[in-house]
Amino acid sequence: MSNLSVESTCSLTGLAPLEAVLFDVDGTLCDSDPIHYYAFREMLQEAGFNGGVPITDEFYIENIAGKHNEYLREILFPDWDFEKGMKFLNDKEAMFRRLAAEKIKPVNGLHKLCKWIEERGYKRAAVTNAPRPNAELMISNLGLSDFFQALVIGGECERAKPFPDPYLKGLETLNASSSHTLVFEDSPSGTKAGVAAGMPVVAVTFRNPEHLLKEAGATVLIKDYDDPKLWTLLEELEKASKGIKAAI
């Protein structure tokens, strides 16, 4: 299903009856990437990365966004020892939390979508490469602590995204089937993870280039959760789910 054309024939009705919904956190629940980008840009420049020339937004999207910190340590600081690299990244996360506490806002339409999911009793979990303190801060500040029934951290799995392990753990935790679960993502790395775990991915496109999300295997591309395309597909999915239940 994840290979269906995003432009014309995409459908989510093959998921019927829907059981569960899995969400990434950074960039999917809230527009946090500009805060991450600012923290990385400032701290990398101070550390003399790239000769002290500030990283660009394009560099951030291609090399940093959506990736977990142990991977970033190897990519950004191949000549640093483990402790020094991880201290830099932990300090960066602390800077992010200080900024995010005041600045994060939900992606447009998020609470409408969460209400739709909750009213229908679907299982739900957050699945993220963010460190646990970051994820808990964002979820709490968005008022979603009671919405999510589980929080899966990529760094606490055997492998983080883009490997499927975090999403597979999410399914296991919720006791849900990949055949009846939908993923919301925003990064190519996360999209690859959801697809590799056997689920269709709806990708939010306002930060990452659409062609990269398509290449990663996204089934549907949406601007945000107010996108009429999303609600048309969810309405079709709900009708299909009701039809199957009625036939049983």
CB hemisphere CA count around 120 (13 angstroms): 20
Q: 135, 224, 139: which is closest to 186 by C-alpha?
A: 224
Rounded to whole angstroms, how far apart are CA atoms 226 and 215? 24
- Tokens 């945000």 belong to residue: 224
- Tokens 């939908």 belong to residue: 182
Residues near 206 by Cβ (< 8 Å), separated by ≥ 6?
Answer: 31, 107, 186, 223, 224
- The CB density around residue 157, as the number of other CB atoms within 10 Å, is 20
Annotated active-site residue 26? The verdict is: yes
Q: For helices 82-103 and 132-141, what crossing angle results, to 10°?
A: 0
How many helices (H) and strands (E) in the chain?
10, 6
Annotated active-site residue 186? The verdict is: no
Query: Known catalytic residues?
Result: 24, 26
